[in-house]
Amino acid sequence: MQLLRGAAGVAAFLGMAKRQFDPDSKPYVDTETGLTFASYTSERGITFRVAIPDPVPADNDFETVLQLIAPHDVGWAGFAWGGTMTYNPLAIAWANGTTNVVLSSRIAYGYYTPPEYPQAQYTILKTGTHVNATHWQLTTSCKGCSAWGDDEIGKTNIDPQYQTTMAFAYSNNPVDTPASPESSFGIHDSLGHPIFDLMTGKNADFGAKITKLSGASPAPRDVAEECEE
Ligand code: HEM
């Protein structure tokens, strides 16, 4: 019998692998944005999707896209990038009236209303963000949602090579001031910890696609150089 050597050998012997378990997320191609997501829908009918770049940079500090779709009778829904309530970027969204969706970047340092968290920089993508008769939908990019923290709270990053436990929470009650991202809101009615396989949400030319979806104009070209004979 061949000898199993080192950590890889032990892992193989124990039947462990980076992607051993059936994830809760499924691959999803969104025809509206053209992005491929790892997508999870909760029992309450709230969908959370994550897209990442292909290739993934070696330091795992990359831009991400979150798509969140919720029925109108959901007051707020939140996504925790690190899979717990505390010490990781939280994206919380809600509908403001019948046309707008508001996104708030927060972080929790305990089990109380999470304060704002400017370190995660979200850009709402116009394509993919809207309200219809039954649902509100947000699509946003984020810088600072795959790697976060500092010496004080510790540094963490998502490694898409491994299946990733995310977390979500929602409330059936509306937030206090829907027009404001700084709004206070009450505790969740329910939450979950779905396992995502982010490798199924990889996208080539990710940065260019995000710029296009955000409605931003591309970087200006050097006209002088172009006009040179
Ligand atoms: C007013 C706002 C909030 C309050 C007062 C609150 C409070 C709490 C409390 C008391 C627990 C239970 C802890 C336990 O029994 O173990 C909890 C757990 C949890 N909360 Fe919140 N929460 C709030 C907002 C949020 C938001 C916005 C999210 C995510 C986006 C979130 C995600 C979670 C998760 C995932 C757990 C399960 C424990 C964990 O995985 O860390 N919470 N929360």
The answer, yes or no, to whether residue 10 has pLDDT greater than 90, is no
Q: Which pLDDT tens digit goes with each residue over 132-190?
A: 999 999 999 999 999 999 998 899 999 999 999 999 999 999 999 999 999 999 999 99
* H or E segment to which residue 138 belongs: strand 135-143
Q: Is 222 helix (H, G, I), strand (E, B) or coil?
A: coil
- Nearest residue (by CA) to ligand 1, atom 7, is 111
Chain-centre distance for alpha carbon 99: 22
- Which of 46, 50, 81, 85 for a ligand 1 pocket mutation test, highest count of atoms within 8 Å of Cβ? 85
20 vs 175, more confident = 175
R_g (Cα) of the chain, nearest Å: 19
Mean pLDDT (the chain, rounded):
89
Find the angle CA(172)-CA(174)-CA(176) to the nearest 5 degrees. 145
H helical segments located in 69-215? 206-214
* CB-based pocket (< 6 A), ligand 1: 78-80, 84-86, 90, 92, 111-114, 167, 169, 185-188, 191
Both tokens of 79, joined, read 């996504």
pTM, entire model: 0.89
**What is the pLDDT, as a whole number, of residue 1?**
31
pLDDT tens-digit profile of 28-81? 999 999 999 999 999 999 999 999 999 999 999 999 999 999 999 999 999 999
**Single-letter residue type at 192:** G
- Kindly state the average pLDDT of the residues 118-141: 97
What are the pLDDT digits (tens) for 191-226?
999 999 999 999 999 999 999 999 865 545 443 333
Fold of 24-204: Immunoglobulin-like (2.60.40)
Is there a contact between 137 and 131 (Cβ–Cβ < 8 Å)? yes
Q: Which residue has the higher pLDDT, 14 or 46?
A: 46
Element (H, E) at 66: strand 64-71
Rounded Cα–Cα distance for residues 78 and 93 (Å): 6
Instruction: Specify the ligand 1 atom closest to the Cα of 192.
Output: 35
Q: What is the torsion angle, in degrees rounded to the nearest 10, for the CA atoms of residue 218, residue 223, residue 228 and residue 229?
A: 80
Tell me if 48 sits within 8 A of 220, measured CB to CB: no
